[in-house]
Structures are given as C-alpha cells and as structure tokens.
A = this chain, B = another copy of it.
Amino acid sequence: MTNMLKSFFKTLTLSTPSIYSVAYKQNKSKLRHLTAVFFGSGVVLYSLQKNEARMANINSKSHNFMAEPITSWDVLSSREDDMKTKMELFIMKVQADFCRSLEAEEESDKKFIVDRWERKVGGGGITCILQDGQTYEKAGVNISVVHGTLPASAVQQMRARGKKFRSDKLPFYAAGVSSVIHPRNPMVPTVHFNYRYFEVTDDDGSTQWWFGGGTDLTPYYLNEADVVHFHRTLKEACDKHDDSYYPKFKKWCDDYFFITHRGERRGVGGIFFDDIDLPAQNKVFEFVKSCANAVIPSYVPLVKKHKNDGYGYHERQWQLLRRGRYVEFNLIYDRGTKFGLATPEARYESILMSLPLTARWEYMHAPEPGTEEAKLMEVLRNPKDWVKI
C-alpha cells in the first residue's frame, strides 16, 4: 500500500463526519487521478477499500468491501466470534457482492457512488447509490451499524410487539443491510430487501437479540415465470432451514406490504419476518445468510433478461404511476421508514434512498379491463401462491 493510501485511511479515521465526507471524496478523486497514471484505470476504487494488514485476521474476502467497515478493525478483531462482528462483516459482503453484481448489468459506465457516513450519537453507515444510469434509474444499497440508547417511541413499539423490558433506557446495537433497486425499463421489476440484527441490553445486564428482514419484488408488468423464479429461489433458501419458514414468511410479506387505503399490495411479495430469536443465534444467522445470499440469484437474472426489452411512453407512464404507489407505501405505512425518520439524528437521506427518482400521481387512474396493467392489479389485490407449498 502506498504512503498516500496509508495517510488517506488515517485521515478517514481521525476526521469528523462532515470533514470526513469531504476528505473522502477529495482524496478519492485525487487518488483516482494519480493512480491512473501508474496502474491505468479500474483497479483504484477496489484498492481503496483494502486494509490488508488488519483484515487478514478476520475475513479474507473483505478486500471487496465498498468502504472501510463502520467498526474499527481493532474492535472487530477483538471480538471475532461475537454476532455483532459476524453480522457487520456479513452485511459488508452482501452490500459489495450486490453492488458488483448490479454494476455488471449497467449499460452505461456509471458505477455506485460510495458514501460512508458517521452518526454523531454512535455508529454510522455506508450508502452506495447509482443514480440516473441506463439500466438503473435509481439503485441504493445501504448498510448501517448503529448503537446508543433506544428512543422511548422505539421501546414502546417493541413492547407492543411483545418484548419484555424492565427499563425504559435501553442501550441497543443494530446492524443491517437494505436496498431498493428501481430499474429504468418497466419490464424489469423493482426489488427491495433488508436484513438486520438487533441487540438490546436491559438494566440487569441481560441481552435480548433478534433478526428480521425480507426480500420482495414489485413488477410493473406481470411476467409469471419471473415471479415463480423469484419466489422459488427464496423458498429454496428458506427450506434449507425449516419447511415452515417459506409459507409463513410469504404470508407475512403479503400482509405487510399492503397499501391499506387502496386495498392493494405494493408488489407480488416474497418473504418477510421479524423478531426471530429461535432456535439459536447461529442457526438464525445461517438462515438470514441464506436469505441474503438468495437476493442475487433471485433478482439479477430478471435484470439481465429484461433490461433491453422494448417499451414505449405508455409503459413508462404506468411504471411512474406504480412508483407513486411505492412512495405511498414507504411514507405512510413502512415501519422502518417511519421509525427511522422519527429517530433523533436520523440519516434521512439513507432512509429515503428507497424513493424512486421519479413518480407520478393521476387522479382516479385505473387501467382498462383486460390490459396487461389490469392483469398486474389483479394479483396485487389477490395475492397468489407462486410456488407449490
């Protein structure tokens, strides 16, 4: 590693969040320029994320990360077997793998922009965005690793879900990856996934932990083979762990992504679960890993298959209208968005990266019966079993 790179990482570690962000971008562009002279282009962004000396002890695959992990390598190394470490390194890998896999299908030369941010009151995140590309109109892949004291509203929400806490001031730790991909072509569905790990410590020192997450698909035009492929891939990931998971989490997904006032679902579902703390921490982690690792095989083939499909003005307008519905769900009903935005010092730009680049609302729009648009509406109103359970 060159001295320049070493001093660059030093800057990162020492600087405050806002200075950090500027320093990161400035150094990155300087480095990109400089190294292009020595090595040619392409290799540099990858090299930037390397910190080989420290990471060697932990995970030989971490060189692919989009940026430095949020927790320092020293701390990560000191608690290798702790779920906090395992989850942080896993979501870093999921983020990097998904970004690379998506970039391979981008038809322009656009790449993900990497925005590493710190949270004043504990932790931070890495937001990767590819905006206004040819394949992707807006693609966001975010990881966050945050800790601190739970706000009262969150404690209340968790109690309402059945959690038993003695104290009201609860130290917490949360690590998660979340992503929404809005492609340009209306024949390519939007995908969303989120996998998260939570730890809360009560005043007697006891710790409660759980995992949550899910993956779901939002097509603009219904291609049944695509939906079957998507659900089948998720089912296979679930079945490896427990036969009861897919049917249960498929239904949970259909129930959750529901736009109540319209009586329709956001999309054709997938899987969704929360508060999973059985049968054992490592078992649940293995299940979550299977689910997150199923994202690429469930979705990227659909991008590849349809990204060059023909479409016209009519299909684009329908896509924008459906994106309006996506915005309605996310801003009115989605617990993650509501909870996130209500948190003090919320990193709202990372929460709202899920919103499409463009959306449209027409008064009383309804597709003509018998059209492809009406066919989609039918399954949004009456969810189907896509895979034999």
A residues sitting closer than 8 Å to B (CB atoms) are 115, 127, 129, 131, 138, 140, 260-262, 320, 324, 327-328, 331-332, 338, 341, 346, 348-349, 352-353, 355-364
CB distance from A224 to the nearest CB of B (A): 29
- Listed A/B pairs (26) with beta-carbon separation below 8 Å: A115-B363, A127-B363, A131-B363, A138-B361, A140-B363, A260-B341, A261-B341, A261-B348, A324-B355, A327-B327, A327-B359, A331-B331, A331-B332, A332-B332, A332-B338, A349-B363, A349-B364, A352-B361, A356-B361, A357-B360, A357-B361, A357-B362, A358-B358, A358-B359, A358-B360, A359-B360
Which chain B residues border A338 with CB–CB below 8 Å? 332
Q: Determine which of B138, B140, B331, B348 lies in contact with A262 in the assembled complex, contact meaning CB atoms within 8 Å.
A: B348
Determine which of B129, B346, B362 lies in contact with A363 in the assembled complex, contact meaning CB atoms within 8 Å.
Answer: B129
Partner of A331, one of B127, B138, B328, B356: B328
**Chain B residues in 8 Å Cβ range of A260:** 341
Residues on the B chain within 8 Å of A357, using CB: 360-362
What is the bound-complex CA distance between A224 and B102, given in angstroms? 46
Rounded to whole angstroms, the CA-CA distance of A328 and B261 in the bound complex is 17
How distant is A345 from chain B, measured CB to nearest CB, in Å? 10
Which 3 pairs show the lowest CB-CB distances between chains A and B? A331-B331, A355-B361, A261-B348
A59 to chain B: closest CB distance in Å? 29
| A356 to B, closest residue via Cβ | B361
Output the nearest chain B residue to A343 by Cβ-Cβ distance: B261
- Chain B residues, Cβ within 8 Å of A327: 327, 331, 359
Residues on the B chain within 8 Å of A115, using CB? 363-364
In the complex, residue of chain B having the shortest beta-carbon distance to the beta carbon of A352: B361
Bound: A115/B115 CA distance, A: 47
Q: Is the CB of B131 within 8 A of A346?
A: no
> In the complex, what's the smallest C-beta–C-beta distance from A178 to chain B, in angstroms?
14
Min C-beta distance of A169 to chain B, whole Å: 23
- With A353-B363, A364-B349 as given contacts, are A358 and B261 in contact (CB-CB < 8 Å)? no
Within the assembled complex, what's the spacing in Å between the Cα atoms of A332 and B327? 11
Closest to A328 in B: B331
A57 to chain B, nearest CB (A): 34
